[in-house]
Chains A and B, each alone.
Chain A
Amino acid sequence: MAAAEQASSQKTATTWHGIVLQTLKRNEIKLVPYVPDRVLTTLIKDLHADPYFTTFPTAREEEAVGIISGAWMAGMRGAVLMQTSGFATLANVLASLAVPYQIPLIMFVSERGTLGEFNYGQALVCRTMRPVLDSLAMEHHTITRLDELEFIADRSIKQAVTTQAPVALILSPLLTGGKTFDK
């Protein structure tokens, strides 16, 4: 292994976004549409920089869910990146596409609205997320620790694919640092 590559892989092994990227790659998830979030900036940048991935922004989160669903049915795996408030726009598409058609929709949700939130609207919308997931009996995990990230993400992706069921992986501010108030 070249020195530069080794340094790069050490970096990816020690940051949450590096672990997410490597876990996606190991599970052959190539298609990653997203609606951006500040916390996801480095992950999105690194996905764009890696030719393995086809990654691009969409106008709405449900649009990304549609794209991933079509790609899955045609043989290409994908995952969607979004923020909490973006997840809040998804109840209809989860209930009428991902769940009933049994599509292994893999979602990474950067969690806003808790642990230092400064915008009341974000705090409120965050409280709608888990009740929606629970109401559809959807698998979801809140990832808070770097040492648990790879296990949870890797196992959850494999479970989604083998059980043909969607999963939401919620990236807690405890993991990512979140977004804090600065003038």
Chain B
Amino acid sequence: MTSTPARNTKVMNRFDLTQRLVSKLKDEAVIGGIGNTNFDLWAAGHRPENFYMLGSMGLAFPIALGVALAQPKRRVFALEGDGSLLMQLGCLSTIATLAPKNLTMVVMDNGIYQITGSQPTPAAGHTDIVQVAIASGLANSSWAADEDDFERLIEQSTQTAGPTLIGVRIDDKPGTGTTRRDPVQIRERFMHGMGVRQLL
């Protein structure tokens, strides 16, 4: 069971948390889910190991799983919104079953579809996403109590022999930047970042 119930967690800010994560990184992959999640990842400073989704809502964790399976020695972070994850809850079971040791998932939970007009999600106020993850078989799932706890959980995930999911409650602020919407360039640069391709 999670040691930090959702109701006791601090409401944080997506961009601030994303910056805290990115500042620690070297060659780790980061998959940014659709919308504000990858806008803030972009704004935190572009790096070739980042992949930005421009659609396919809900697939940040599956894409990250694919990267983690292909490169088991590389740490893979996936950043996803709560509304996005609700579209693809089944992927939590798949990830629990495959149990990649190098995957850290972060759920940015504000209970709303911020980018479409801040409508509440069907889960808002009723569903505990970390409990859903635990019930799906992801034992290393917990809410971050505050920013320091988030950084501690990120660090801890890199030492854990299995996938980790970190839930963070965030405010209703929009994304800080806007990802340049060039899918081929995003993919090509990411493949370069993964050491699969040389840039032309």
One of B54-62, B120-128, B137-145, B158-166 at the interface: B54-62
CB atoms of B94 and A56 under 8 A apart: yes
Nearest opposing residue in chain B for A57, CB measure:
B94
CB proximity of A72 to chain B, nearest CB, Å: 7
One of B36-44, B111-119, B183-191 at the interface: B183-191
Interface residues of A in 30-49 (CB under 8 A from B): 31, 33
One of A17-25, A62-70, A116-124 at the interface: A62-70
CB atoms of A92 and B69 under 8 A apart: no
Cβ of A3 under 8 Å from chain B:
no
State whether A74 and B196 are in contact (beta carbons under 8 Å apart), knowing that A31-B69, A58-B91, A66-B56 are contacts in the complex: yes
Per DSSP, chain B at the interface is: helix
CB atoms of B187 and A67 under 8 A apart: no
Cβ of B71 under 8 Å from chain A:
yes
Cβ of B88 under 8 Å from chain A:
yes
A56 to B68, CA, bound (A): 15
* Max chain B C-beta neighbours (<10 A), residue from A31, A64, A75: A75
CB 8 Å contact bits of B25-63 with A (1 = contact, 0 = none): 000010100000000000000000001011111110111
A65 to B56, CA, bound (A): 10
CB 8 Å contact bits of B174-200 with A (1 = contact, 0 = none): 000000000110110011001110000
* Max chain B C-beta neighbours (<10 A), residue from A59, A63, A72: A63
Nearest opposing residue in chain A for B61, CB measure:
A66
CB proximity of B139 to chain A, nearest CB, Å: 19
CB atoms of B187 and A70 under 8 A apart: no
CB proximity of B65 to chain A, nearest CB, Å: 5
Residues in A neighbouring B58, C-beta threshold 8 A: 62
CB atoms of B69 and A101 under 8 A apart: no
CB atoms of A95 and B90 under 8 A apart: no
CB atoms of B187 and A102 under 8 A apart: yes
CB atoms of B94 and A70 under 8 A apart: no
Nearest opposing residue in chain B for A60, CB measure:
B90
Residues in B neighbouring A72, C-beta threshold 8 A: 66, 70
The 3 closest A-B pairs by CB, nearest first: A96-B55, A59-B90, A70-B66
Q: Would you give 23 A-B contacts (Cβ < 8 Å), ordered by A?
A: A31-B66, A56-B98, A59-B88, A60-B90, A62-B59, A63-B88, A66-B63, A66-B65, A66-B91, A67-B63, A67-B66, A67-B94, A68-B66, A70-B67, A70-B69, A71-B70, A73-B190, A74-B29, A75-B195, A92-B55, A92-B57, A101-B184, A101-B186
**Chain A residues packing against B (C-beta within 8 Å):** 31, 33, 54, 56-60, 62-76, 78, 92-93, 95-97, 100-103
Q: Please give 18 more A-B residue pairs, beta carbons under 8 A apart, in addition to A70-B51, A73-B51.
A: A54-B69, A59-B88, A63-B59, A63-B91, A65-B59, A66-B63, A66-B91, A67-B62, A67-B65, A67-B94, A68-B66, A70-B70, A73-B187, A73-B194, A78-B66, A93-B55, A93-B59, A103-B187
**Chain B residues packing against A (C-beta within 8 Å):** 29, 31, 51, 53-59, 61-71, 74, 88-91, 93-94, 97-98, 183-184, 186-187, 190-191, 194-196
